[in-house]
């Protein structure tokens, strides 16, 4: 299907991305007609290839993101998690609670096996936001997560999102076991349709191991970050991956040159005019260097 043959679902999904990023129609449109963009979001018109690519670039997504997330938004967990991830540092406690309330309301009329787990995970995130610190999950909750990520060994879209979301709340041995489970899965290959999701998980793993001082796995994690980094479909992902790579190298072999590399990677979002990402990257560096305050999602 040609990009220009988009439909109301594509427009609705675009709107969800735009609103999650708190970007106005005017900001998203730039040179495009605001009224045309509004009609596109309501499913009343299509955008040509050039216009669609322009407005998607303006909010930091590509056509593949919209097609994938048209399906993702049917998942209440991933929908609520997507709101949290999109806002990151701009996520107030009230917004976090609102995303959790959305999950509760959208799943109130039906039961499925993971609902209790997802609810518990969201509640723990709220508790950590209230403490402004990544609190370690209780053993029984970690056991449930281990059953999904390690014992079930499925590794689909839900699993990648769950792992990256809860990683900094888990014990180190659970993180390491889940990482090995992922690496042993058939999806862990360069041409996998989940390459973007794996790349996102990889920088989380690298950062978690740096924060916890687990050095023996860092060379392997470093190779994995590089292996999947170029599969990332947004502008932010590679910048974060490069920063975590610099932190991994600094952890493996501390030196003024490697510290300078971290500073260079940290400065990249500022150079290209992404202040919110720059703030998020500063939090990553602070956490990697031992800071307790802050929650990384």
Render each residue's pLDDT in the chain as its tens digit; 297 residues. 333 344 557 788 888 777 866 778 887 875 567 888 888 888 888 777 667 767 776 776 655 556 544 444 456 787 788 888 776 666 778 888 888 998 888 888 665 667 889 999 999 999 998 999 999 999 999 999 998 899 877 888 788 989 999 999 999 999 999 999 999 998 898 788 888 889 999 999 999 999 999 999 999 999 999 999 888 877 788 999 999 999 999 999 999 999 999 999 999 999 988 888 899 999 999 999 999 888 887
Name, in order, each residue with C-beta under 8 angstroms of 91's C-beta and a sequence gap of 6 or more: 84, 129, 297
Give the 3-state secondary structure of residue 146: helix
Give the 3-state secondary structure of residue 133: strand
Query: What DSSP state is assigned to residue 137?
Result: P
| Distance separating alpha carbons of residues 89 and 222, to the nearest angstrom | 26
User: What are φ and ψ of residue 293, in 5° steps?
Assistant: -70, 145
Whether residue 248 contacts residue 215, with contact meaning beta carbons closer than 8 Å, is answered with no
Task: Give CA separation, 182 vs 150, 151, 198, in Å.
Answer: 8, 11, 9
Name, in order, each residue with C-beta under 8 angstroms of 108's C-beta and a sequence gap of 6 or more: none
Q: What's the CA dihedral at 251, 236, 172, 168 to 10 degrees?
A: 120
Whether residue 207 contacts residue 247, with contact meaning beta carbons closer than 8 Å, is answered with yes
- Domains, the chain, ranges and CATH? 8-66 (1.10.260.40), 132-288 (no CATH)
- Structure tokens given for 293: 């305050």
By CB neighbour count within 10 A (0-12 exposed, 13-18 middle, 19+ buried), where does 178 fall? buried
pTM greater than 0.85 (yes/no): no
């Amino acid at each position: 299907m040609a990009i220009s043959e988009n439909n109301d679902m594509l427009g609705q999904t675009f709107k969800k991305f735009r609103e999650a990023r708190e970007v106005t129609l005017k900001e998203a449109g730039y040179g495009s007609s605001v009224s045309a963009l509004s009609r596109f979001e309501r499913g009343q018109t299509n955008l040509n290839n050039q216009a669609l690519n322009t407005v998607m670039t303006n909010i930091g997504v590509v056509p593949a993101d919209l097609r994938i997330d048209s399906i993702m938004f049917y998942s209440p967990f991933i929908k609520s998690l997507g709101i949290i991830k999109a806002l990151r540092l701009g996520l107030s406690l009230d917004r976090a609670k609102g995303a959790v309330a959305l999950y509760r309301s959208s799943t109130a009329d039906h039961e499925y096996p993971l609902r209790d787990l997802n609810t518990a995970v969201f509640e723990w995130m709220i508790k950590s936001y209230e403490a402004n610190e990544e609190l370690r999950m209780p053993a029984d909750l970690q056991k449930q997560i281990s059953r999904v990520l390690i014992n079930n060994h499925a590794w689909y879209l839900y699993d990648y999102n769950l792992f990256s979301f809860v990683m900094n709340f888990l014990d180190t041995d659970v993180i390491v076991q889940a990482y090995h489970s992922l690496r042993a899965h058939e999806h862990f290959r360069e041409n996998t349709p989940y390459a973007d999701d794996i790349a996102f998980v990889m920088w989380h793993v690298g950062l978690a191991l740096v924060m916890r001082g687990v050095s023996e796995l860092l060379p392997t994690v470093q190779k994995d970050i590089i292996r999947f980094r170029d599969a990332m479909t947004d502008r932010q992902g590679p910048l974060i991956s490069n920063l975590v790579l610099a932190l991994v190298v600094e952890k493996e072999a501390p030196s003024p040159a490697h510290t300078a590399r971290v500073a260079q990677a940290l400065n990249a979002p500022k150079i290209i005019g992404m202040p919110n990402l720059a703030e998020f990257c500063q939090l990553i560096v602070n956490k990697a260097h031992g800071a307790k305050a802050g929650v990384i999602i």
